[in-house]
Structure 1
Amino acid sequence: MKVLGALEPSELSNFYNAIDVFFNPTLRPQGLDLTLMEAMHCGKPVLTPNYPSIVGTVVVNQTFGYTFSSNVESFVDALESAVKDGPKMLQNKGIAFRKHALSMFTASKMADTYERFFLCMKNPRFCQYPLPTDC
Structure 2
Amino acid sequence: MKKFYKLLFIPIFCLVMLSNTTSTVSAANNWAGFQHVTIGLSFKKWGLASFYTTVIPSKSSYYSKINMKLQRYSGGKWHTLTSGTNGDTSINMYSRGYYVTKGYTYRVYSTATVYKSKGGKKINSDTFIYKNKY
TM range (shorter): under 0.3
Q: TM-score if structure 1 supplies the norm length?
A: 0.24
- Structure whose CA Rg is larger: 1
Q: TM-score if structure 2 supplies the norm length?
A: 0.24
Which is strand-richer, 1 or 2? 2
Which is helix-richer, 1 or 2? 1
